[in-house]
Amino acid sequence: MPHDHHHHHVDPDAGDGKLALAVVVNVGLTIAQIIGGILSGSLAMIADALHNFSDAASLVIAVWARKIARRPADAAMTFGYGRAEVVAALINLTTLIVLGLYLIYEAIMRFFEPQEVIGWMIIVVASIALFVDLVTALLTWRMAKDSVNIRAAFLHNVADALGSVAVIFAGLVIMATGWNWVDPLVTLGIAGYILWMAWGEIGGVVRILMQGTPPEQDVEAIMATAESVAGVQGLHHVHFWMMEEHRAALTAHMVLDAGAWSHADGIKAAVKTLLDHKHGLTHVTLEMECDAHQCRGEPRIGH
């Protein structure tokens, strides 16, 4: 099985300047959008502004998490601080879900209490917002490929860019027809997309925090690989989990065949080498047991 997923060598300091610039740009845009939304009476624009504010907040959280994740392992965090980025992603995605639900509520209320909307002002401000959203997305899209943390922030911006397109569309329709109800309708569309996008990502983040197995790896196949090495009778008490997005760990009790104990070190080294070669596993801990004194009644997976 290919294992490139577990060998990412990215400069940890790369991209910090881009992220800082993205934060500044998004904060400025948020202020402009809120003013424009109030003056134009557009709920859709205010919705886009709130989402854009969450973009800026998500980028701040992402930068903070990246810095924490670079700390080396210590007595308090023996596995290191890499999961800080996963926690940041959870915060950002949860914020998106709450924001989406809030926008749905506000849009429904606006249907019952229609408000006059100035179409041309929506178009002007939303066009500026779209440009800024696209620039911000470009600043982060490459880093998003290697980090669930940055990917969550990137998705904020992509959703906001699409929201700006929807707001521009609403402004054009309102100018052409005077249908002010299009504004809350577009808001519902923006909120629905935000919820769909966040829900699609949050499952993977929760899987890491719940110490789940990497979704692209089969624990039974990994165990079969270890048991294929000469001298290995079997594995039990197996734990296989994601320590962070790109690092997995395996611990297990490994029983050796009768008469193979004198070669225990060599067998263990062979198993670790094969697991690295076939599955990309470099963090493997094996507790050796001889055939005569192996654990009895232990489950194959877990304990």
Q: Where are the domains of the chain?
A: 4-209, 219-293
CATH number for domain 219-293, candidates 3.40.1010.10, 2.60.34.10, 3.30.70.1350, 3.40.50.620: 3.30.70.1350
Which percentage of the chain shows pLDDT scores above 90?
A: 29
Average pLDDT in the chain:
82
For the chain, where are the E strands, in sequence order? 232-244, 247-256, 283-289
Domains 4-209 and 219-293 belong to one CATH topology = no
Closest to 130 in 3D by CA, of 29, 274, 259, 250: 29
* pLDDT confidence of residue 3: 42
pLDDT of residue 210: 93
Top CATH class of 4-209 equals: mainly alpha
How far apart are the C-alpha atoms of 213 and 238, rounded to whole Å? Answer: 12
In whole angstroms, give the CA distance from residue 100 to residue 188: 9
Look at residue 230 and tell me whether its pLDDT is greater than 90: yes
Whole-angstrom distance, CA of residue 18 vs CA of residue 136: 9
Per-residue tokens: 104: 């749905």
User: Which tens digits make up the pLDDT trace of 188-223?
Assistant: 888 888 888 888 889 989 999 999 999 989 999 999
- pTM value is 0.72
| Average pLDDT, integer, range 268-296 | 93
Distances (CA, A) of 300 to 134, 139, 283: 50, 46, 19
Pick from 5-19, 126-140, 157-171, 275-289: least confident: 5-19
- Is the pLDDT confidence value at 162 over 50? yes
